[in-house]
């Protein structure tokens, strides 16, 4: 196979990742499915009028000229679309989160195993320069054996990203601990090299939601001139509508395999956007700043040359979407299917981040009770 023939389910929004395959000499975009005709029209404009488009994704799966499917539809459809694609004999790239329930992830994994096809999860943070540098530092042994991890995620655009569309409902996303948090939880897993065993979490809907009508949109609101959350883009449902129910302020403590302790803070109404990780080992501490594109290592006294200097890493910028990750992750998908290379983000990793997030959601909705992360149901 010289070129992988790819179809896309959910062509707008995250479906824009198809642009990277369009520009590759090892892939061709042959079709797309969406529930909005305008989204399909935009897709044809980007990919060329020759591409097949349909409002019924099953018609895309029925095509013999489609080798692989990119599932970039809304989260609550990932399970249905990924399972159907694998059963249709297609390789699958599934955007994170793999599903919105642990059971849904396990269904996908069972279908994947039975299909004999390739499955990859869209954890693009594993492909960002700043986190690859952090991974290299840890694996080099610089900070010793990892014992603790911490992530705080200030989501400065939380309203526009999550509270003006389907993300704000439990049916749509379950919890932002696994929607937005699946990236962060996976990064804790990847950097530490261990998966979460049990969690306890607290959270609340502390800013968004309210008594506004569910059908109220920003462009039809008489408070548009004074509302700080006013939006002109396609996601312009009122963020203070009655149906909003997903927590906007979350904190979770985690115990990982190997006894590693971790904590995760996620807030969606902060004034700035900042994702900060700290990893503590027996010989030093590692910390990053995404806005500054820096990584710092601070060393403990070790009776060795290591203790002679702390270190600052200035991360080189990369071209492409998501901090340069999109061109790399799409290339990794091609390597997996065309050359048999193992992907950096495995299906099991996708499942484990969701399972930890789901356990966190269960915990904070039950008064902070400790929740075990269940074993994979193969």
| Domains held by the chain: number | 2
Q: Which of 72, 102, 122 is the last residue of a domain?
A: 122
Asked if 116 and 130 sit in the same domain, the reply is no
In a domain, 136, yes or no: yes
Asked if 113 and 132 sit in the same domain, the reply is no
Asked if 117 and 137 sit in the same domain, the reply is no
Asked if 175 and 308 sit in the same domain, the reply is yes
Range of the domain at 131: 126-208+244-325+352-372
How many H helices and E strands in the chain?
11, 15
Check which CATH number belongs to the domain holding 54 and give it: 3.40.50.720
Give the per-residue pLDDT at 236: 85
Query: How confident is the model over 306-327, as pLDDT tens digits?
Result: 878 899 999 998 877 777 888 8
Give the per-residue pLDDT at 244: 97
Positive or negative: CA dihedral 55, 237, 170, 277: positive
Give the per-residue pLDDT at 378: 87
Check which CATH number belongs to the domain holding 318 and give it: 3.30.360.10
- Measured CA to CA, the distance from residue 191 to residue 372 in angstroms comes to 21
Q: Which of 85, 101, 122 is the last residue of a domain?
A: 122
In a domain, 71, yes or no: yes
Q: How confident is the model at residue 235 (pLDDT cuts 50, 70, 90)?
A: confident
Asked if 110 and 157 sit in the same domain, the reply is no
Query: How confident is the model over 22-57, as pLDDT tens digits?
Result: 989 999 999 999 999 999 999 999 999 999 999 999
Asked if 202 and 82 sit in the same domain, the reply is no
Cβ atoms 261, 147 nearer than 8 A? yes
Q: Which of 122, 152, 187 is the last residue of a domain?
A: 122
Provide mean pLDDT across the span 267-286: 95
Cβ atoms 123, 100 nearer than 8 A? no
Provide mean pLDDT across the span 1-29: 93
In a domain, 92, yes or no: yes
In a domain, 232, yes or no: no
Q: What are phi and psi of 135, to 5 degrees?
A: -60, -45
Neighbours of 197 (CB within 10 A): 16
Which residues, in sequence order, are CB contacts of 215 under 8 Å at separation 6+? none
pTM of full prediction above 0.85 = yes
Query: How confident is the model over 161-216, as pLDDT tens digits?
Result: 899 999 999 999 999 998 889 999 999 999 999 999 999 999 999 999 999 999 99
In angstroms, the Cα distances linking 311 to 118, 142, 225, 228, 333 are 40, 11, 48, 40, 34
- Strands 196-204 and 249-256 come out as antiparallel
Cβ atoms 54, 45 nearer than 8 A? no
Asked if 117 and 250 sit in the same domain, the reply is no
Asked if 157 and 32 sit in the same domain, the reply is no
CA 155-158-159 angle, to 5 degrees, is 160
In a domain, 346, yes or no: no
Asked if 187 and 259 sit in the same domain, the reply is yes
In a domain, 37, yes or no: yes
- Count how many residues are written for the chain: 378
List the alpha helices (DSSP H) in 154-232.
Answer: 158, 170-173, 181-192
Asked if 153 and 281 sit in the same domain, the reply is yes
Asked if 154 and 272 sit in the same domain, the reply is yes
- Measured CA to CA, the distance from residue 92 to residue 6 in angstroms comes to 9
Provide mean pLDDT across the span 82-110: 98
Q: How confident is the model at residue 233 (pLDDT cuts 50, 70, 90)?
A: confident
In a domain, 228, yes or no: no
Positive or negative: CA dihedral 242, 243, 244, 247: positive
Provide mean pLDDT across the span 115-140: 96
Give the per-residue pLDDT at 332: 96
In a domain, 337, yes or no: no
CA 209-214-219 angle, to 5 degrees, is 95
pLDDT at 14 over 80: yes
Provide mean pLDDT across the span 224-253: 91
Residue with tokens 């009028």: 49
**What is the DSSP code (8-state) at residue 28?**
E
Asked if 191 and 116 sit in the same domain, the reply is no
Neighbours of 259 (CB within 10 A): 10
């Amino acid at each position: 196979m010289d070129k992988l023939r790819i179809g896309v389910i959910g062509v707008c929004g995250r479906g824009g990742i198809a642009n990277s395959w369009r520009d590759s000499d090892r892939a061709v975009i042959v079709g797309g499915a969406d529930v909005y005709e305008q989204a399909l029209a935009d897709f044809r404009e980007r990919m060329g009028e020759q591409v097949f488009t349909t409002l019924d994704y099953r018609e895309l799966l029925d095509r013999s000229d489609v080798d692989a499917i990119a599932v970039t539809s809304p989260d609550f459809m990932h399970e249905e679309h990924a399972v159907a694609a694998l059963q249709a004999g297609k390789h699958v790239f599934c955007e994170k989160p793999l599903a919105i329930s642990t059971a849904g992830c396990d269904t996908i994994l069972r279908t994947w195993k039975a299909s004999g096809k390739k499955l990859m999860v869209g954890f693009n943070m594993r492909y960002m320069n700043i986190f690859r540098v952090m991974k290299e530092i840890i694996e080099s042994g610089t900070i010793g054996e990892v014992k603790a991890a911490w992530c705080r995620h200030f989501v400065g655009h939380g309203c526009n990203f999550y509270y003006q569309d389907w993300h704000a409902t439990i049916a749509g996303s379950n919890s932002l601990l696994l929607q937005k948090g699946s990236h962060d939880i996976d990064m804790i897993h990847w950097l530490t090299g261990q998966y979460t065993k049990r969690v306890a979490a607290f959270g609340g809907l502390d800013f968004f939601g309210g008594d506004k009508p569910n059908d109220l949109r920003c462009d039809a609101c008489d408070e548009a001139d004074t509302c700080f959350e006013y939006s002109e883009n396609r996601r312009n449902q009122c963020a203070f509508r009655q149906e909003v129910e997903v927590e906007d302020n979350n904190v979770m403590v985690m115990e990982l395999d190997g006894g590693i302790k971790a904590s995760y803070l996620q807030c969606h109404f902060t004034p700035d956007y900042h994702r900060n990780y700290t990893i503590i080992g027996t010989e030093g501490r590692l910390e990053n700043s995404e806005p500054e594109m820096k990584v710092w290592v601070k060393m403990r006294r070790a009776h060795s040359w290591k203790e002679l200097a702390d270190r600052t890493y200035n991360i080189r910028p990369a071209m492409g979407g998501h901090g340069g990750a999109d061109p790399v992750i799409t290339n990794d998908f091609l390597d997996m299917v065309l050359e048999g290379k193992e992907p950096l983000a495995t299906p099991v990793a996708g499942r484990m981040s969701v399972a930890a997030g789901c356990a966190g959601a269960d915990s904070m909705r039950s008064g902070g009770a400790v929740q075990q992360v269940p074993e994979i149901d193969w």
